[in-house]
Amino acid sequence: MRHRWVSVLICAAVSAAATTACGSGGASQSADGQTELTIATFNEFGYEDLLKEYEAAHPDVKITQRKTGQGQPHHQNLFTKLGAGSGLADVEGVEEGYLSQVMSKAGQFNDLGEIGPKIEDGRWLKWKTEAMTTKDGKLIGYGTDIGPLAMCYRKDLFAQAGLPSDPEGVKALFSTWDSYFAAGDQFVAKVPGVAWFDSAAQVFNAMHNQHETGYYDKSDKLVVDTNPDIKSDWTAVTAAVAKGQSARLAAFSNEWNTGFKLGKFATKTCPSWMLGVVESQAGPENKGKWAVTDAFPDGGGNWGGSYLTVPKQSKNAKKAAELAAWLTAPEQQIKAFKAKGTFPSQVKALDAPELLEQTNAYFGDVKAGALFATQAKKVKAAQYKGPADGQIQETVFSPALQSVEQGKNAEEAWRTAVEGAQKAAK
């Protein structure tokens, strides 16, 4: 009898734990026939007013928005609940940095080309859609925003080094990576105590992303050690580090912030959203010193931006896809841009007057909207991302480049990086 009691109690406890663990199911049909949709976003997508607008136009739909402050916990939650098989929202935001992990689980997301409403051809920039299309042609996410790359630089420090400092004049310095590093040599020779760029990894990632083939080839084979482009980027960046061009500051660290404040580097690879970061880190005392120009070595590039996906767990996938398609239409994206500054990935939105007229006071009233729209159109193609791509960049190559900045031999660090990539890809 004693034993029976104990087992009953344990059973009750286990089943209680189990039901709470799986309790937060997906959306469902409510009693009055309304469809309840949930949408999970992170940071600021600028959707608050848009969702109200959608509800007003569709009385049969009720939308709940789950907001997470930061991208990292949002995606951790996404992958955990993909694994659990339930608990995700009907529409889930996905950031570009997590693209490779999402693409390797593409089977758990709906093909929006199949279940979604008909969407006009060429709504998005070609490379934006390409990156979210599987090899067999399934589109698993609608593009929201992007982060086209331009170059930010310190006008005052450029002048001090005798380099041209007006936005037109500097373009020649930023035309290729060779000219960029050559200008860096000139700069560090003239201005002691100030570096040319903030961190080797920041430059390397931008260079690496411009190649058609990166860490993986299209058959998901790791080509880190055989792709000559990666090695030549590595050699160029580490050579610049050896010549003192790097401020050796890990991006987004406290010391990096201090570096902005003290003006310890003269250029910064600048996606559209970086202008806000520069402004808040460099602070009002450095106002007017930073400038941005619509040039980027060897063409263009992109860093950041998101997609809306509909996981297969969703019980209202069709309606969820309709909502996602509506939110990512150019008319809506422009409103989100005005609300929270998310830079649109839609071709039409890039020509919208609201965008083209946007200026940035901190960067000397530059027409930032038009500038980054130009940069967005310079991006040639999306690099193919293999399964462990994001991880190789974050946990293998960036630390390896930092170790070179800490004084490690570049050749040794390269071997460590290749080994690390092979381990990560296993």
Partner 1 sequence: MTVVLTKDGRGRAEQAPPQPPRRHRLNRLDAKVSPYLFVAPFFVLFGAIGLFPLLYTAYVSLFDWEVGADEPAFIGLDNYRTLVEDGQFWNALFNTFSIFVLSSAPQIVIAVAIAALLNENLRARTGWRMGVLLPYVASLVALTIIFGNLFGPQYGLVNNVLSAVGISPIDWQAETFGSHAAIASMVNWRWTGYNALIVLAAMQAIPREVHEAALVDGAGPLRRFFSITLPMLKPTLIFVVVTSTIGGLQIFTEPKLFEPSGGSGGGTEHQYQTVVLYLYQSGFQQLDLGYASAIAWVLFLIVIAVAGLNFLVTRRAVR
Q: Rule CB under 8 A: is residue 24 a binding residue for partner 1?
A: no
Q: Which of 115, 408, 410, 422 binds partner 1 (CB under 8 A)?
A: 408
Q: Which of 37, 173, 249, 317 binds partner 1 (CB under 8 A)?
A: 249
CB of 247 or CB of 317, closer to partner 1: 247
- State the helix-helix crossing angle for 228-242 and 177-190, rounded to 10 degrees: 10
Q: Rule CB under 8 A: is residue 248 a binding residue for partner 1?
A: yes
Which span sits near partner 1 by CB under 8 A: 25-33, 74-82, 92-100, 327-335? 74-82
332: which DSSP letter?
Answer: H
- In whole angstroms, the minimum distance from the beta carbon of 191 to partner 1 comes to 17
CB of 217 or CB of 394, closer to partner 1: 394
- State the helix-helix crossing angle for 398-405 and 410-425, rounded to 10 degrees: 160
Residue corresponding to tokens 């193609």 = 381
CB of 71 or CB of 330, closer to partner 1: 71
> Tokens standing for 239?
């050579």
Q: Rule CB under 8 A: is residue 4 a binding residue for partner 1?
A: no
Q: Rule CB under 8 A: is residue 146 a binding residue for partner 1?
A: no
Question: Who contacts 71 (Cβ-Cβ below 8 Å, separation ≥6)?
Answer: 42, 43, 95, 97, 98
Burial track 60-69 (b if 16+ CB lie within 10 A, e otherwise): ebebeeeebe
Q: Which of 19, 28, 219, 254 binds partner 1 (CB under 8 A)?
A: 254
- In whole angstroms, the minimum distance from the beta carbon of 283 to partner 1 comes to 15
Q: Rule CB under 8 A: is residue 424 a binding residue for partner 1?
A: yes
139: which DSSP letter?
Answer: B
Of 97-116, binders to partner 1 (CB under 8 A) are 101, 105, 107-108
- In whole angstroms, the minimum distance from the beta carbon of 5 to partner 1 comes to 6
Of 362-391, binders to partner 1 (CB under 8 A) are 391
Q: Rule CB under 8 A: is residue 176 a binding residue for partner 1?
A: no
Question: Who contacts 127 (Cβ-Cβ below 8 Å, separation ≥6)?
Answer: 302, 379, 380, 381, 382
Q: Rule CB under 8 A: is residue 359 a binding residue for partner 1?
A: no
